[in-house]
Structure 1
Amino acid sequence: MAKLLYSATMSLDGFIAGPGDDMSWLTEHLGPNPMIDGFIGEIGALLIGNRSFRGDDPHRGTDKAGEPFGGGWSGPQFVLTHHIPDTPVPGITFVGDLAGGVAAAKAAAGDKYVNIIGADVARQCLAAGLVDEMLVPIVPVLLGDGVRLFDHPGGSKVKLERLGLAEVAQATMLWLKVTG
């Protein structure tokens, strides 16, 4: 059965996107990463937040723009949104509610991971107790502002257990299990 995994590259000060959802900061940190390359083969489907789907791309201006993992992955994609477009987008299924999106993504993923992309959809999945694991590459940069990996006004504690830690290229890779 599919597991839900939240993966996002994070700055040392906790941001996954810069101010205004800018992803250009990430461009210089993209490159060969054996852990990510191996992990991509374990993804069966994507559950994507609408803001991430419509947002900036660290591969902007290259032939890899607009493709998951810069073209390193293809498969079923489910975008969680309150505004389902009238015109279909090839390869994308738009879903209007979290439970339906998670169920559809898990069914499509089979026994592989459903990779969550987007801080807000990840926060919703964490609040609902649906996230099984997290993969967080931490890169050596401070952004000072932007979209946090996890943001819950008023606070919320999510217990994690470290499953793995690795130093790869320009990142420290944390693999975590959500325990509560």
Structure 2
Amino acid sequence: MAKMLYSATMSLDGFIAEHGGDMSWMKPYFGPNPEMDNIVDRIGALLVGRRTFEGDDPNKGTEHEGAFGGAWSGPTFVLTHRIPADPAPGITFMDDLESAVAAAKEAAGDKYVNILGAETARSCLDAGLLDEVLVCVAPVLLGDGTRLFERPGGDNVQLERISLTHGEFATNIWTRVLPR
């Protein structure tokens, strides 16, 4: 059965996007990273928040536009409160977290459902649906923006390290979410 994986590139001070959702800060840190390069083959579906889906792609307008530098092709589920009247082809828009997770898991088979978007990942965590987190830490301090996880007043979430690897421009920390 599919596992729910939240993967993101993060600045050393904990941000995945600059203020306003700008993700162009990542460009200097793209480069050889075997952990991140190999993850795409292990993903069976994406679960994406609406803001991330409509957000700032650092590769927009290039051959690398899209999830995972354009390497992703497959079922994509967008979690939103505003389902468009004319959805994009090949994209499934859903307004219920548990239904979206169930549909994404079914589509993923025995591979990962990769979550894109901090709010969607937090919702999965809060609902007890998040299994693993893979963070690619880039050596930069952004100072402000969208945090990897923000849970004001939230409790601690215990993680167990699965692996620690290094790419040319970043460090990858892969963890398992422990039961509460």
Determine if the TM-score, normalized by the shorter chain, exceeds 0.5.
Answer: yes
Matched residue, 1:120: 119
Q: Deviations over 1:39-62 (max 9, x none)?
A: 110000000000100110111232
Contact 2:77 2:100 in 1 (8 A): yes
Q: Deviations over 1:68-114 (max 9, x none)?
A: 21211110000000000000201100001100100000000000000
Bigger shift: residues 89-98 or 56-65: 56-65
Aligned alpha-carbon RMSD (Å): 0.9
Structure 2 unaligned blocks of 5 or more: none
4+ runs of 1 displaced by more than 2 Å? none
> Aligned-pair distance for 1:155?
2.9
Provide the rounded CA distance (Å) in 1 between the counterparts of 2:125 and 2:171.
23
Matched residue, 1:19: 19
> Aligned-pair distance for 1:157?
1.2
Provide the rounded CA distance (Å) in 2 between the counterparts of 1:144 and 1:50.
24
Provide the rounded CA distance (Å) in 2 between the counterparts of 1:87 and 1:105.
21
SS at 1:4 equivalent: strand
Q: 1:62 corresponds to which letter in structure 2?
A: T
Matched residue, 1:90: 89
Normalising by structure 1, we get a TM-score of 0.97
Matched residue, 2:168: 169
SS at 2:160 equivalent: strand
Structure 1 unaligned blocks of 5 or more: none
Aligned: 1:157 with 2:153: no
Q: How does 1:27-176 map to 2 (within 5 A)?
A: 27-65=27-65, 67-176=66-175
Provide the rounded CA distance (Å) in 2 between the counterparts of 1:155 and 1:29.
31
> Aligned-pair distance for 1:32?
2.3
Identical positions, percent: 62
Q: 1:165 corresponds to which letter in structure 2?
A: L
Contact 2:78 2:94 in 1 (8 A): yes
